[in-house]
Structure 1
């Protein structure tokens, strides 16, 4: 981890920074967060939320437009231009939520009734609950508040401030909605005018990250024969696919742990988790399935290609077959997103760390290792140097019961967002009040 390069604000820049921060309105941020959380926006269905935010950014004084992708899906791109000769900095967040939370999902999500798992907003004091209120809606609301404060402050920017919000940011692949997800929205945005010299992605965890993992999706199938419950065990020709799958799952879990250990580097720890097992037909319980399928997501370090991860998994399966010749297995990689990294010495990373240190009052140091994947990987792969900045997460002291295992994606304590807003504001002032030459451009 490189040291933060000191580039002090001038007296004028410090004044501008304080002037802009003074315009950040916690109550306005909270009300916007409530409003956008109350607009249901599952992946591939974010049109209403995106149209709402496009209008909100226009009202704030930015040139804003809604960019449709399908009948139900679209993105937001807003711009506030400076006087010229400066950089273009994009503040970015996804706008879609990870779940639909409809009846079709209740069987596998557990049908949680907690406040953070509802597709509607609930306001309790400074807490906002509802599906995606923390991730991604808190980011959407905070970046909008930052942009609004910049406009209201009247600071004479040289560079251009962009605000981007895209559908398809969740790590899903919704085939019924033209395969929405896996960063399809931000790629659409980047291909249609969202040209930036630098980007800041707001995402949970109170650190600055210069890189993030990608992900690989695999299916591992255990083969047997179709059976019938009326025949005794030991019947010639019958071979269960379900029972051996239990042993395969244990082997796979051990491999995933070892994979993460072997592939950890930089600030990325590429964890993997078995996501599910699929076999048989509950309407035909008398017939044991001929195939049991295990599927999982494994994260990919920026210094490891999806092809290399594929080769590592192939070696695991080959070794397992050698040790357990009675197993009949096949597999496929059916999804992949490479990781992305930005040089730690790049202006936007250094500026973000300076902002972090300014608010925290201490050196940045080495952040917690990261396993979460965002659209920041796509931004970096498209050549946009990107810093990821976050806030303490999950929020502590929730007033309502929240679902376990998801890290508080639908519970936001608004005061937690304000230090992060001031850190990002530091990057805005630090970057957009300078000439391109000062930024290494």
Structure 2
């Protein structure tokens, strides 16, 4: 990674920045986060949460609108207009949670009694708990507080400050809700008047990223014949699909690990995991299933297309067939989302890195390799230069029990968010108080 490009603040800009930082209010941020986390908003059903944010942003000084997606879901499109001659910057976050948390997901989540797995919020001291209280609602609350502080400090903005909040940000495909997910909301937002010059998204980890991976979803089927528990293993014509699937799982796991290593480049390591195994009928345990299906997600490096990943997987399956001719296999790729990248020398990447270095008091350097997918990939694919900036995650020392692993992404320690807020404020003052020419945005269309 090249060193961050220096661009000093003027004395006036530093004064504006310090005034804006002084207006950051941790208690106000926490109150917003608690109230937003207390509004359940699973993918495809975000109307109440989005309308809450439209009202909130309207009160703090934005012109804010609700963009309907369906009867039960929609986006937030808000704008604070500058004086003119500057660039527009969109602060972006999704608003949907990755779980329904309604008891229907027991196999996916386990019993899920922990505080971060509940659709209702709780507060303990400087902590907020509840489904999505960290990701995505901690991001929404922090970005909103950043914008509020900038407005209250009366920083003279030349460019427009946008707040984009969308449904469909989770890597899911909810067929019962018009296939919500896989960045459907942010694309709707961009196509309907919210296309900015630059975007900043806030996501876990304490780095600035200029690129993010996409996704490739596969189903791999092991075929056998319908069986019966009351016969021996030597019955003519019977072939289990379930027992051979155990072998296929081990081979597939090795391929996924190797795939991630072979496709690592830039700041992306495209991890993947087998998500589940499906087959048979729990009401008919006497009849072994004729088909056992494995399904999984591998991430797609921005320099690799989903079509190329499909070809890599096809090669794996053919090799497995040659190695084990007794296996009868079929497969499909049923989800494909390309990754996205912004030139690391682009203004918004460099500005966010300057903000990061201003707070961290050290060079940014090379970040940890990234495998997480967000709407940032979609923004970049649509041509919006986008910086991802974050905070240390997960929060440590929670006073209530939280789920192990990914869990409900819903345990937030408010002081952890404030350094990131100051970094983003730095980039906003750095960008929104300059002319388009200073930002490298040339005017076109004049004879």
Same fold (TM over 0.5): yes
Structure 1: gaps spanning 5 or more residues: none
**Local SS of the residue matching 2:369:** coil
Match of 1:214 in 2: 214
1:279-319 Cα shifts (integer Å, max 9, x gaps): 10000011100000000000000000000000000000000
The answer (yes or no) to whether the contact 2:211–2:377 under 8 Å persists in 1 is yes
| Offset, 1:230 | 1.0
The answer (yes or no) to whether the contact 2:122–2:130 under 8 Å persists in 1 is yes
Correspondences of 1:361-376 after superposition (within 5 Å):
361-376=361-376
Match of 2:84 in 1: 84
The answer (yes or no) to whether the contact 1:390–1:420 under 8 Å persists in 2 is yes
Is 1:75 the counterpart of 2:58 in the alignment?
no
Match of 1:306 in 2: 306
Which whole-Å CA distance do the structure 1 matches of 2:263 and 2:311 have between them? 13
Match of 1:243 in 2: 243
1:76-107 Cα shifts (integer Å, max 9, x gaps): 01110110000000000000000001121123
The answer (yes or no) to whether the contact 1:394–1:408 under 8 Å persists in 2 is no
The answer (yes or no) to whether the contact 1:91–1:163 under 8 Å persists in 2 is yes
The answer (yes or no) to whether the contact 2:225–2:291 under 8 Å persists in 1 is yes
1:172-222 Cα shifts (integer Å, max 9, x gaps): 000000000000000000000112000000000000000000010000000
**Local SS of the residue matching 1:284:** coil
1:344-395 Cα shifts (integer Å, max 9, x gaps): 0000000000000000000000000000000000000010000000001101
Superposition RMSD in Å: 0.7
Segment of structure 1 superposing worse, 408-417 or 259-268: 408-417
Which whole-Å CA distance do the structure 2 matches of 1:107 and 1:327 have between them? 28
The answer (yes or no) to whether the contact 2:44–2:96 under 8 Å persists in 1 is yes
The answer (yes or no) to whether the contact 2:257–2:271 under 8 Å persists in 1 is yes
The answer (yes or no) to whether the contact 1:96–1:170 under 8 Å persists in 2 is yes
Which whole-Å CA distance do the structure 2 matches of 1:437 and 1:68 have between them? 36
Correspondences of 1:24-423 after superposition (within 5 Å):
24-406=24-406, 409-423=409-423
TM-score by length of 1: 0.99
| Offset, 1:231 | 1.0
| Offset, 1:409 | 1.0
The answer (yes or no) to whether the contact 2:213–2:371 under 8 Å persists in 1 is yes
TM-score by length of 2: 0.98
**Local SS of the residue matching 1:437:** coil
| Offset, 1:155 | 1.1
| Offset, 1:126 | 0.3
**Local SS of the residue matching 2:431:** helix
**Local SS of the residue matching 2:79:** strand
Aligned length: 441
Which whole-Å CA distance do the structure 1 matches of 2:29 and 2:137 have between them? 11
The answer (yes or no) to whether the contact 1:395–1:408 under 8 Å persists in 2 is no
Which whole-Å CA distance do the structure 2 matches of 1:408 and 1:185 have between them? 21
**Local SS of the residue matching 1:103:** coil
The answer (yes or no) to whether the contact 1:394–1:407 under 8 Å persists in 2 is no
Query: Runs (4+) of structure 1 moved beyond 3 Å?
Result: none
Which whole-Å CA distance do the structure 2 matches of 1:126 and 1:407 have between them? 20
| Offset, 1:413 | 0.2
Which whole-Å CA distance do the structure 1 matches of 2:104 and 2:28 have between them? 35
| Offset, 1:407 | 6.3
* Pair 1:421–1:171, CA change in 2 (3 A): same
